[in-house]
Amino acid sequence: MIRILFVAIALFGFAGHIFGQDELPVKKRMAVSNELGVNFTNILNKIIKVNRDSANENPYLLIYRVGLGRKWGIRLGAGGSNKYVETKEEGFADSETNRNTALDTRVGFDYRMPLGRRFEGSFGLDAVGKWRKDKQVIDSGFDIIERVEQFQGFGGGPFVGLHFWINPNLAIYTEASFYMIFGERDSARIFRNFPELNDQIFREKTEDLVTILPSSIFLIYRF
């Protein structure tokens, strides 16, 4: 994590020096501004091999902020994934497929404060939503069994963030957040040829404190 932050700041700090835009970002800030951010942690990880804990990574691939003046703003975030794996033994008709789909969204507000010449801190509150679906299909030749687990949850909580402004319009950003998520998880097994064996839908309610560590780096462009 420290290596990623150090290299990212070094690279973009050098880029900012090359461009020679030493003016403070706040001097060019408009009454209403827009910021678009892209999570490029995976790209950095190809350059710097580190062990990452995916459970604590930031799930948002894109973030967007509308600045209302110099300090307050409304922010949005969205992310998702879709993974499909098929396993089949050579010489056998048996097969197994797994599909994992996820969607994460958030909306919130923040307050920013300068922390020196190029650094800027922020904090605020978010409302978040999560949706997950894991589906496993096993074809044994005699029957096809589907195991499905679906989760949906809503909640929210505080966050703190840190910007390093390369120039008035370009920055790198990381954040930590603490969200309380209230959700429902449904699971069941479905037998296509023997429906009398189908499980009743099993439903459980969950309460989870989700901690997102500052292990993801966003590239921010202000316009």
Cα separation, 156 vs 109, whole angstroms = 12
How open is the CA angle 31-214-223, to the nearest 5 degrees?
A: 25
Cα separation, 78 vs 214, whole angstroms = 17
Cα separation, 8 vs 47, whole angstroms = 11
- Of 54, 70, 140, the closest CA to residue 102 belongs to 54
Better-scored residue on pLDDT, 48 or 57: 57
Better-scored residue on pLDDT, 125 or 48: 125
pLDDT at 66: 97
pLDDT at 53: 59
Give the CATH number of the domain where residue 69 resides: 2.40.128
> Would you state the structure tokens that stand for residue 84, as one six-digit string?
């499909």
170 beta partners:
167, 221
Flag whether pLDDT at 25 surpasses 50.
no
Enclosing domain of residue 68: 2-222
What is the value of pTM for the model shown?
0.79
Give the number of domains in the chain. 1
User: Of 18-22, 156-160, 164-168, which range is least confident?
Assistant: 18-22
Contact by Cβ (8 Å): 191, 143: yes
